Structure 1
Amino acid sequence: MSEPLPEASLNDKIALVTGSSRGIGADTVRWLAAAGADVVINFRNKAPRAQKLADEIREGGRKALVVGADLTDADSVSAMMQSVNDEYGRIDILVLNASGGMEANMGEDYALKLNRDAQLGVLDAAMPLLGSGSRVVFVTSHQAHFIRTTPTMPEYEPVALSKRAGEDALRERIPELTERGIEFVVVSGDMIEGTITATLLERANPGAIASRREEAGKLYNVSEFAAEVARAAVEPVPADNTRLVGDISSFSAE
């Protein structure tokens, strides 16, 4: 797959990607660093993977700061931003990628805490580091983005509803962000082959991914979707602040 961004197009830029020790977040970091960005790799409990990714980025000639933080814990997020401030002094690209809610034994309201409350908490904590010309990217799924008009699999519905709640809450901040010269864009994609969410869905509903692949004609893999997230960090923001990736013919517009 060709590089999604021109070489050196992000030189002197600082990018923080939440949930970036693996999956879409890790590949987004790779794409941004390949374009010249220095990066912040955030993880919750995958420190060795995060360090391995950081070593890879450094070998490519870019700086990489690894910061563990539980995004549902305000003090943890505050400490992460302090580390970023100490190392870089600013954030040019903030990718709100971390999400979840299908994990076992995390509490009844965990999905809402992570997918709505934590997203706002990270944005609030990052605001002092975001200057005019910076950009915030929120990563979601079609199943969440269109949940009000298109039902999803029962196993995924609580996550979809919480992700949409997070998107709505972030969209309410657009006027404030715009006033500060900060751009905001939502990137929505279909089920992504190879993600933790897809794996958990398949476990709860065997055949769900294959069925969706057949219906859509194609599902993006992790690297392909991460490339779209990276593009969303630099390409012009659509008028409705929404970048839809892949087929949406199965989803009803609001």
Structure 2
Amino acid sequence: MDHEETARPTGTPPPLRADAGGDFAGRVALVTGAARGIGAATARLLAARGAAVAVNYRKSAERAQEVVDAVTRAGGRAVALQGDVTDAEQVDALVAAVEAELGPVDVLVLNAAGIGAHEARIAPATELGWDDLELVVVRQLKALFLTTRVVLPGMTERGRGSIVAVGAALARRPAPRFLPLAVAKAGVAAAVRSLATEAGPHGVRVNAVEPNLVLTELAHGVPEQQRRAAAERAALRRNGTPEDVAEIIAFAASERAGYLTGACLLADGGTTFA
């Protein structure tokens, strides 16, 4: 979340021109939850660097198509594909559609949390019920597990691939009232490390990127004073943007990070350890 003196503005990002010789030339990327925010920024960036991108969405068909249109105007290739990544049958259908439209998945970005922001309760732990915790944790881990389970076998068979999960700095430095999300994102970090040990011998890397408060549309619901305080806690004295996080995801997914696996990269502007 941001404030102008301590953060970048949140307007529409400048168009990215597709580079046929970029880091992801000839690669197919699937970005889950890519209709808006970090997912949309990542889809646009991967396409600009040469990938053919599947823009996954659950409900926001119009927003996903806007991402596809932006990629197409810039000379890239993308398709919008619906699918709830917490539903096994829909995940199977989603990956089959990606392969039919674009080809086998080389890069998987696990951005979808499996739950809408309005569905998760933010409250002191003593005011939460077990269902509140279970809802967030189970959906988050299902979104990661079900998609990875379908995509990983093809990657291992081909002897290459990169998976990047979007975690959260909350997994390392929890905050009051966010117990379910902190537990869920700690689970993401554990899953990434475990998957990395299994996939590494087959040439597949698995990493996570852990942002803190990012200036997405959802951040507009956070009071200005809280956004300003979050920015002031950061060593860089600003909040992050979706484009900031997308750059780190793209690095982790690329062959430039060919010796990086099992890592959870903080993308918090120096907040966690500032």
The TM-score with structure 1 as length reference comes to: 0.85
Q: Which amino acid in 2 is paired with 1:165? A: G
What is the number of residues matched between the two proteins?
Answer: 243
Q: How does 1:48-63 map to 2 (within 5 A)?
A: 48-63=62-77
What corresponds to 2:149 in structure 1?
124
Conserved? CA contact 2:120–2:136, under 8 Å: no
SS at match of 1:173: helix
Question: Structure 2: which amino acid aligns with 1:161?
Answer: V
**Structure 1 residues 6 and 140: CA distance shift in structure 2, 3 A:** farther
Unmatched tracts of structure 1, length 5 or more: none
Distance in 1 between residues matched to 2:261 and 2:153, nearest whole Å: 26
Q: 1:30 to 1:105 in 2, by over 3 A?
A: closer
- Taking only the aligned residue pairs, the percentage that are identical comes to 27
| CA–CA distance in structure 2, aligned partners of residues 240 and 169 of structure 1 | 9
CA gap of 1:228–1:105, structure 2 versus 1, over 3 A, is: closer
What is the TM-score when the length of structure 2 is the normalising length? 0.79
Distance 1:231 1:105, change over 3 A: closer
- Offset of residue 117 of structure 1: 2.2
CA-atom RMSD in angstroms = 2.6
Instruction: Go from structure 1 to structure 2 and tell me whether the alpha carbon gap of 1:112 and 1:176 turns closer, same or farther (over 3 Å shift).
Output: same
Distance 1:190 1:24, change over 3 A: same
Q: 2: CA distance between counterparts of 1:192 and 1:11? A: 28
| Residues 195, 222 of structure 1: 8 Å contact kept | no
Q: For the Cα contact (< 8 Å) 1:21–1:47, is it kept in 2?
A: yes
- The answer for the alignment partner of 2:169 in structure 1 is 142
SS of the counterpart of 2:112? coil
Partner of 2:119: 104
CA contact (8 A) 1:142 1:248 kept: no
Amino acid at match of 2:168: S
Letter in 2 for 1:21: A
SS of equivalent to 2:249: helix
Deviation, structure 1 residue 66 = 1.4
Of residues 90-99 and 169-178 in structure 1, the stretch that sits farther from structure 2 once superposed is 169-178
Moved over 4 A (4+): none
- Cα 1:250–1:184 shift into 2, 3 Å: closer
Greater RCO, 1 or 2 (C-alpha within 8 Å, sep 6+): 2
